[in-house]
Amino acid sequence: MPSLERYVYSFGPGRADGSAAMRDVLGGKGAGLAEMANLGLPVPPGFTISAKLCIRYLEEGILPDDLREEAHRHLKQLEQAAGKKLGDAKNPLLVSVRSGAAVSMPGMMETILNLGLNDETVQGLIAGSENPRFAYDSYRRFVQMYGDVVFDLGKAPFEEVLAAVKQRRKVKRDIDLPAEDLAALVEEFKAIIQAKASVTFPDDPIEQLWGAIEAVFKSWRTRRAADYRRVHSIPDDMGTAVNVVAMVYGNMGDDCGTGVAFTRDTRTGEAVLNGDFLTNAQGEDVVSGARTPEPLAKLKRGRLAKVYRELERIAHKLERHFKDVQDIEFTFEHGKLYMLQTRRAQRTGLAAVRSAVEMVDEGLISPEEAVQRVPPQDLDQLLHPMVDPRAAVTVIAKGLPASPGAATGEVIFDADEAEALAKKGRAIILVRPETSPDDFHGIVAAKAVLTARGGMTSHAAVVARGMGKTCVVGATALDVDPQAGRFRANGRVVKRGQVITVDGTSGRVILGEAKLVLPKVGTQYAKLMMWADGRRRLRVRANADTPQDARRAREFGAEGIGLCRTEHMFFEGERINAMREMIVAPDESGRRRALAKLLPMQRADFEGIFDAMAGFPVTIRLLDPPLHEFLPHTNEEIAALAKAMQTPVPKLKRLVASLVEANPMLGHRGCRLGITYPEITEMQARAIFLAACKVAGRGRKVIVEVMIPLVAHVEELRRQADIVRRVAQEVFHEEGRAVPYLVGTMIELPRAALTADELARLAEFFSFGTNDLTQTTFGLSRDDAGRFLPLYVESGILDDDPFQVLDQEGVGKLIEMAVRLGRGVRPDLKVGICGEHGGEPSSVKFCHRVGMNYVSCSPFRVSIARLAAAQAALEEQGVINRTKATV
Ligand code: ADP
Ligand code: MG
Ligand code: MG
């Protein structure tokens, strides 16, 4: 039965069957080509086979019957538009067969150029171009790519032979090889295919075409493509489209060439057209790093100035049309420019902020669009360290500053090794002559990437930039020898394992460890955050345990503290001893003695925090962790404590042993401590209110929220809240002043969520402790999850680690229900979140949707949460995220 589904969409100058809106079907590349054609830009004619077929083909192993017929109809159309025919001996049409998914995965899948060549058609190409070198260069590239992609032989066997020929001829670049050599290479490459794959290279262009189409579909499932999707959370079932495009030739002479351009600087965001190009070359040459390309600015002057002006005009038009920074691929043939691709440019966080804000200033987009355009996570990069400008450093080489930031680590030359060592927690700098997509997992694992060859648009540069990873490319002074495990640079030798620092902001390669400092963020950032703050409903607080943390939190724009963990205060210096005394004290009076020592320390800390947060709420959580976390472990520690407490060592040892729990995470912790030892709660409440009165006495505004942890039953909350309220009254009476305060509970056990209505009768606020709530909902311990959780994510059981990204379907359901039950009883119930999730963009958006009042996260993530909260509010108002809709 013929299918009603359409598989193939044509495009050509001035017209296209599809458009930018059809990314799901056409993929990003196909959609971009169609849109450019519709805009009347010079695009070679071609057609796109639907991405919807990809997964079906991969699962069933065959293409639908009616696809061939439909594709051949579009091929006829293409031949007409090009005025050439596939397989024609006199005037052959050559095509490229190119992958392209809905979400850009640069260089991760396959492309084959110059398809349609055989011993007969190559003669037609020679006759037409009067350029045998060009014709055989195209032919040998075609056979090489076909062998690599369709017969899965990789690049190496062909490159080795090519390198040998160049050496024999004593030439550096393949364009310097004469036609005879290139013709001989074609034969040699075919022989390699015959020997290694046991197949004869297909002469029939139609057979070539279908072989290439199937191979492009299959390239969706290569390891590097799968790795890339995992890192970027791209679904595996999306599939790639296949684009068949008439070839235009950049390798026909010195007035021909190919390049990549960005409409703005993707490192800094500055509005300047920039990029790389090569004359007498084909596309792969620029991005592969095989030849070091020229900066686009060079095209501006001299013979090819006309090409530059045309490119500038088109770049401008594309940016105005898509209203976003574009990453453009182009080729020029005898001075005539063709556009081969346009897509949304990957950029650093810095560039994302600057370009978005400047586009608002230019009237291209609205502030709302700017707010929605910057991925919140990318703000993290603005906080990346840089090499201290005042530090004295030994620079051993300089390359191109491909992706900013700075990192120090051990030099490693192999991607697998980098991955293995990074798993052990080592800081790695991946050093390569150049990177290929096969190095992807090594780039992920490394702190920074350094290559000897390649331009700003080389593979390493693009991939690293997309991940916000420090990267320097084209450090030409480097002579990298991965086999020997060393590189040379300006007379120095650096061996595998030696430490270097890579400065992706300046391009410097520095010997040893350099001092790193945090950069100052610019005015565009302030503007963007102002727009974001004006549009969000969620308040953003920080988790902070010390006065220093609290001050930093304010600098990042935190509007209060959502979680102040009191136990952290007890680990410092002398305090741990008093804490230990309290824990092992045999009776209440012993505990009270020790608590009396702790009280002034705790009060002083609270004072500092209230001072730093004057005018903003501070949520203080009462003692939470299993007591044994504080216990002495080594013999010296036990001996010291025994002496301080004037207790015999064996007795102390018995006491310590008696506190060991089988399952501390579910043991004697949280409010259970305050229930068994009410004097702890009393001391903490006293310290809190004394500090609050003191600070209020200095004329500052103090807003206190006391939070009871790990509540499962309303009776636990009642007893603890009673103590807190009683102590508050006592202190207010003694001090002769009162401060406003709330008593609330953490919701971090499923039973608390299920009985949230009962809790809300007593609790004036809820704070979701999503770390524990995730742990107890899944019934898995965070401390042991490392053994299996990564596999769960890798194998797709879970989309994400639920401790990083809130599990909205499961844990989220409990949260939603608890908010509803709580507000049903107490409509003005204040609700927030204080787990790790409070700084993770998708989780922050969830918190907005369920109607929380605030999120609280680590100070460094406050800006991320502010931006995510604004995006959530805009999404709710239905302001369309145009970034996602553009190519
Ligand atoms: P990728 O997805 O890795 O960018 P492409 O399909 O864009 O792969 O192909 C890589 C390069 O091959 C392009 O940048 C371009 O220079 C060259 N190329 C692709 N198709 C053509 C064509 N029809 N004519 C000339 N060059 C082409
Ligand atoms: Mg491309
Ligand atoms: Mg907890």
Tell me the pLDDT tens digit for each residue of 417-437: 999 999 999 999 999 998 887
- Asked if residue 886 has pLDDT above 50, the reply is no
403 lines ligand 1 (CB under 6 A): no
Percent helix / strand / coil, the chain, rounded to 5: 50, 20, 35
For the segment 522-551, the average pLDDT, to the nearest whole number, is 93
pTM score, two decimals? 0.82
pLDDT of 328 over the 90 cut = yes
Q: What is the average pLDDT across 767-784?
A: 91
For atom 3 of ligand 1, the residue with the nearest CA is 107
> Which DSSP string corresponds to 356-402?
HHHHHHTTSS-HHHHHHHS-GGGGGGGG--EE-TTS---EEEE-EEE
- 93-97, 567-571, 606-610: least confidently modelled range: 567-571
Q: Would you state the structure tokens that stand for residue 280, as one six-digit string?
A: 């007498």
Ligand 1 pocket member 340 (CB < 6 A) = yes
pLDDT band at 282 (very low <50, low <70, confident <90, very high): very high
Highest mean pLDDT among 520-524, 568-572, 744-748: 744-748
**459 catalytic per annotation:** yes
The answer to which of 436-445, 544-553, 571-580, 821-830 has the lowest mean pLDDT is: 571-580
Q: How confident is the model at residue 887 (pLDDT cuts 50, 70, 90)?
A: very low
Q: Which of 109, 260, 340 to mutate to test the pocket of ligand 1 (most atoms within 8 A of CB)?
A: 340
With a 6 Å cutoff on the Cβ, whether 245 touches ligand 1 is: yes
Active site residue 834: yes
Distance CA 108, CA 644 (A): 64
Q: Give the closest residue (by CA) to ligand 1 atom 6.
A: 98
Which residue has the CA at smallest separation from atom 20 of ligand 1?
Answer: 96
pLDDT score recorded for residue 506: 83
Query: Which of 36, 96, 326 to mutate to test ligand 1, by most ligand atoms within 8 A of the CB atom?
Result: 96
| Segment among 336-345, 563-572, 660-669, 854-863 with least mean pLDDT | 563-572
Q: Which of 121-125, 440-444, 789-793, 840-844 has the lowest mean pLDDT?
A: 789-793
Sort strands 46-49 and 85-86 into parallel, antiparallel or unpaired. Answer: unpaired
In this prediction, residue 288 carries a pLDDT of 67
Residue 806 confidence (pLDDT) above 80: yes
pLDDT value of position 290: 67
Q: What is the mean pLDDT of residues 696-707?
A: 96
What does DSSP say about strands 486-489 and 492-495: parallel, antiparallel, or unpaired? antiparallel
Tell me which of 633 and 329 has the higher pLDDT: 329
Query: What is the per-residue pLDDT for 3?
Result: 55
Contact assessment for residue 149 and residue 96, using Cβ atoms and an 8 Å cutoff: no
Residue 36 has pLDDT above 60, yes or no: yes
Q: What is the pLDDT of residues 619-644, one digit of tens each?
A: 999 999 888 888 887 888 888 888 88
Ligand 1 within 6 A of 591 CB? no
Q: Decide: residue 798, CB within 10 A, 0-12 exposed, 13-18 middle, 19+ buried.
A: middle
| Rounded distance between C-alpha atoms, residue 246 and residue 233, angstroms | 33
Per-chain residues with Cβ under 5 A from ion ligand 2: 329, 341
Q: Does the beta carbon of 707 lie inside 6 Å of ligand 1?
A: no
Q: What percent of the chain lies above the pLDDT cut of 70?
A: 97
Among residues 321, 384, 441, 459, the one annotated as catalytic is 459
Task: Provide the pLDDT for residue 787.
Answer: 79
- Report, as an integer, the average pLDDT of 519-531: 86
358 Cβ inside 6 Å of ligand 1 = no
**Contact at 8 Å (CB) between 455 and 276?**
yes
What's the distance, CA 413 to chain centroid?
Answer: 23
- Band the pLDDT of 127: cuts 50, 70, 90: very high
Is the pLDDT at 728 greater than 60? The verdict is yes
pLDDT of residue 881: 47
Position 739 scores a pLDDT of 96
Amino acid in position 13: P
pLDDT surpasses 80 at 284:
no
Range of lowest pLDDT (398-412, 622-636, 847-861): 622-636
**Per-residue model confidence as pLDDT tens digits over 212-260:** 999 999 999 988 888 888 778 889 999 999 999 999 999 999 999 999 9
Neighbouring-strand partners of residue 11: 16, 46
